[in-house]
A and B are shown apart, each in its own frame.
Chain A
């Protein structure tokens, strides 16, 4: 379990993160979202014990994240936001080096991950593409089967197929009861893997909610074109929320009142029915932009 309590890091320029509070339980994937420079990496650095909090604390499985790094690292997998390796090593040498640094011998999982992500680890890291480096980082983080995972934009640079494989991997890990904190910009990825998300903006947590709760607040919008204007009356009387677009064209917004809408529309002569898709992205973007919040 990852527990963040009242955590602040204030830099000399006044920026940083302020009074963060959240926790990630076992078997949970927690999405950590926010625009660039919002403080995601600053928070993750404190969870890894790289920087000292100005205030507050964070623990991983009950161990203080700043002081007990040696113990924590025995069961933690970390994918850094920036891929900086030992440039003059080959991918294979790097993985061997990390394995030795961990004092860990098992290679089965490593092999399985290399196949899964189609990693070509033979070449020099310096010459690798961004995506290949990212794959190498993923293999390095997952290869000792850690029970807690902290992933800073784990799929950046990956092609769509690899992103899909990554999501599959995360879902498998989740089933095994791993604790996973993941920062991401890909809403689709978050929607498919995370139960809960926190959105951070300018160092402050602006929301922390279950994804399904967030989804409930999403209104579905249907654009209906009627053959006869007289049918408008039926819709008027049904109590559905709607607005006129053109003469025969209306926009209906519903939460989960499908039954009401369908039964009313069944009585109308509908010429055309169109769905205006709204996704979590719309919610997230609302929190991302400065103006709206």
Chain B
């Protein structure tokens, strides 16, 4: 682990993470403000205008009546992937592949830091930035909910929900990190880093859209992330899924570090 490299990562990526945080906060506040403790007429009205298949694909057909259910299904059901995933992929791409492609990796490695040290530092940054981002989102979510609807949010469940998101994102980050460490060219890193998670999303949407094809959804890694099960109190599924996602993340990051340590670097 190299602290100077870690701090330089923070500096290089702070803007993109900050923008994401602002966008996410805005979105979060909007969703929460739509909550009506008396009922969900506004939502029902809006959802009534959309075709049912579309709602099912997004996982919005089970929209609950509590605040946590609203957040869980709307924000964490599908849209949770949209923005942070893009940032995570771009950041992981920058951590190794960009340095290899541009050749600046030569400067990192011509200091007394082994490849392993460099790769471990980048992996730690990758994981830490995800954890910090969702920790801030959690704090912000609790703050906004308490300000607008005091006492309505089940804070304990909300925290666990976000831990669940974090481990899910560790696995997504692992895909991007592995792609970043094995790619010979920039475009391959981005291609795999974007392609694989998008592929999983498409599988999930296909599985959701038609009950006959629900098995397709289970092929997706994101079948392991199901906030509705958490809200329904299915702790067994959630616990196992979180463990599985952590194992996947550990394998992906581990493979990335090992591969980077052994590969040929044309820098």
Contacts and interface: CB of A to CB of B under 8 A. Distances in A.
B113 to A, nearest CB: 6
Nearest to A68: B114
Interface stretch (A69-77, A111-119, A247-255): A69-77
A71 B112 CA distance: 6
Given A51-B264, A51-B266, A73 B111 contact: yes
A50 B264 contact: yes
A101 B113 contact: yes
A92 interface: no
A70 B104 contact: no
B112 A74 contact: yes
Name, among B8, B111, B113, B264, the residue most crowded by chain A CB atoms within 10 Å (CB to CB): B111
A140 interface: yes
Interface string B230-267: 00000000000000000000000000000000101111
Interface in B22-42: none
A101 B111 contact: yes
A198 B265 CA distance: 25
Name, among A51, A85, A101, A103, the residue most crowded by chain B CB atoms within 10 Å (CB to CB): A101
A48 interface: yes
A25 interface: no
A85 B107 contact: yes
Nearest to A125: B104
Given A45-B266, A50-B267, A101-B5, A88 B12 contact: yes
A86 B109 CA distance: 13
Name, among B106, B108, B267, the residue most crowded by chain A CB atoms within 10 Å (CB to CB): B106
Given A50-B109, A69-B109, A86 B117 contact: no
Name, among B115, B262, B267, the residue most crowded by chain A CB atoms within 10 Å (CB to CB): B267
Contacts of A98: 107, 111
Given A45-B266, A50-B264, A76 B110 contact: yes
Interface residues of B, number: 24
Nearest to B114: A70
A22 B235 CA distance: 66
Given A82-B103, A84-B103, A88-B12, A49 B109 contact: yes
Contacts of A55: none
Nearest to B8: A97
A79 to B, nearest CB: 9
B2 interface: yes
A259 interface: no
Given A69-B114, A70-B117, A84-B102, A101 B266 contact: no
Interface in A88-130: 88, 97-98, 100-103
B267 A45 contact: yes
A174 B52 CA distance: 79
A80 B267 contact: yes
Contacts of B5: 101
A52 interface: yes
Contacts of B150: none
Nearest to B3: A100
A51 B103 CA distance: 14
Nearest to A11: B264
Contacts of A80: 103, 106-107, 110, 267
A50 B265 contact: yes
B8 A103 contact: no
A86 B112 contact: no
A102 B111 CA distance: 5
B111 to A, nearest CB: 4
B151 interface: no
A87 B264 CA distance: 24
Given A50-B265, A50-B267, A101-B4, A73 B113 contact: yes
B108 A101 contact: yes
A48 B110 contact: yes
Nearest to B5: A101
Contacts of B104: 84-86
19 contacts: A49-B109, A50-B264, A52-B262, A69-B114, A71-B112, A73-B111, A73-B113, A80-B103, A80-B106, A80-B107, A80-B267, A82-B103, A84-B102, A84-B267, A85-B107, A101-B5, A101-B108, A102-B111, A140-B107
Going nearest first, the 9 A-B pairs with the smallest beta carbon separation are A84-B103, A100-B4, A101-B111, A51-B264, A73-B112, A70-B114, A78-B110, A50-B265, A80-B106
Given A102-B112, A103-B112, 8 more contacts: A50-B109, A69-B109, A73-B111, A85-B107, A86-B104, A86-B107, A88-B12, A101-B108
